[in-house]
Amino acid sequence: MKLEKLAIINYKNLENESFEFDAKINCLIGPNGVGKSNVLDAIYHLSFGKSYFNPITSQNIRHNTDFFVLDATYKKNEMEERIILSVKKGQRKIIKRNGKAYTRISDHIGLIPLVIISPADNDLIMEGSETRRKFIDGVISQSNPVYLENLLNYNRILAQRNALLKHFAANNTFDRSTLQIYNEQLASLAEPIHTERVAFLEKFTPIFKSRYRSINENEQVSLEYNSQLKDAKLLDLLQKNEDRDRRATYTNFGIHRDDLIFNLNGYPIRRFGSQGQKKSYLIALKLAQFDFIKYDTKINPILLLDDIFDKLDEMRVAQLIKLVDAQDFGQLFISDTHAERTENVIKQAHQSYKMITL
């Protein structure tokens, strides 16, 4: 997968920009605030239909304008793919593939595999379980449309069940038969989602450990999947905890409460890892994501490295580039403030590259 051309209109602080990219390495250079990360986010947006940094679509429209347009041309298996994503205030998002608009945005997910490594990834370690569930779901969904469809339906029914619980509380009423319908629908979707997450981690964890060993062979890492469905069926849990859900007015049990525990040398890295260990852990996690998607889709994902020098020392960045260069990695995008520093590092990859100044 290669991104050949990109045109941006009114996206964040970018008014009207056009780019032609190298097939291997592209370096976006410029001082802070000029929009380097926004260009990378536009590329991400074209893959997933949403921003990596701000998923509220309307907030990505440039100030004092009422729309944005992203227009990209890709080369996939020698075939050209043109993707246009447009948003206008007060209207729904439109994504067109080769001139034809998608009926459902979810049908687009997986067409353009992509992995981003960013300073914002620290949230994977430090924030709550929702961030880590999104990581799992994002990796699986790029190669498994059935999983994505099940997940979207689960979240829709979960929202309806929660609304029903709030309605019961507000009106001092209760209808067990109606609640049971939602219980059964949730349970029927939760089982395949849970099964797929378990299967994913069985394949993903060895890849992740291998990637971490290539960065630091003296430490042991692991991923621990925490799920209420490990030892119980969701339908049983919902029925047994009906009173608890009624008091809380939301659903306390389900795959929406799953978590992924990151361990280093047998201890949670969130509490016991140094800053350097956390950085290495995150890089290994994202490179394993790259490997997994490449294996599952048989396509090299586009790789985005956002402000990588600001969070990693030059030695770690050089090490990262070498790791990427050791395989046929596809197309790479890097943003940085210093052209000379970036060029010195990417020359070690012995690949074609393009320096783009913003």
Regarding whether 326 and 182 lie in a shared domain, the answer is no
Q: Does pLDDT of 328 surpass 70?
A: no
Residue 329, pLDDT score: 75
Give CA separation, 106 vs 74, 146, 177, 272, 299, in Å.
Answer: 19, 11, 32, 38, 19
Residue 120, pLDDT score: 87
Specify the residue for token string 């043109």.
Answer: 82
Residue 184, pLDDT score: 97
Q: Which two tokens stand for residue 185?
A: 């629908």
- DSSP annotation of 85 reads E
Residue 315, pLDDT score: 66
CA distance linking residue 44 with residue 171, whole number of Å: 44
End-of-domain residue from the set 297, 313, 346: 297
Q: Are 87 and 67 in contact (CB under 8 A)?
A: yes
Regarding whether 128 and 107 lie in a shared domain, the answer is no
Question: What is the domain-level CATH number for residue 172?
Answer: 1.20.1050.90
Q: Is residue 217 part of a domain?
A: yes
- 354: buried, middle or exposed (CB in 10 Å: 19+, 13-18, 0-12)? middle
Residue 298, pLDDT score: 87
Give CA separation, 177 vs 27, 212, 345, in Å.
Answer: 59, 50, 64
CA distance linking residue 25 with residue 41, whole number of Å: 17
Q: Is residue 118 part of a domain?
A: no
212-216 long-range CB contacts below 8 Å, 24 or more apart? 212/280, 212/281, 212/284, 214/284, 214/323, 215/280, 215/283, 215/284, 215/319, 215/323, 216/277, 216/280
Q: Which two tokens stand for residue 195?
A: 């099964």
Regarding whether 308 and 291 lie in a shared domain, the answer is no
Regarding whether 91 and 69 lie in a shared domain, the answer is yes
244-253 pLDDT tens trace: 999 999 999 9
User: Residue 290: which domain range?
Assistant: 123-297
Regarding whether 240 and 161 lie in a shared domain, the answer is yes
259-300 pLDDT tens trace: 999 999 999 999 999 888 898 899 899 989 999 999 888 888
> Which residues, other chains included, contact 178 with Cβ-Cβ below 8 Å and sequence gap of 6+?
164
Residue 310, pLDDT score: 66
Residue 276, pLDDT score: 82
CA distance linking residue 34 with residue 31, whole number of Å: 6
- 63: buried, middle or exposed (CB in 10 Å: 19+, 13-18, 0-12)? exposed
Question: What is the domain-level CATH number for residue 328?
Answer: 3.40.50.300
Regarding whether 127 and 95 lie in a shared domain, the answer is no
**Hey, how many other C-beta atoms are within 10 angstroms of the C-beta on 303?**
22
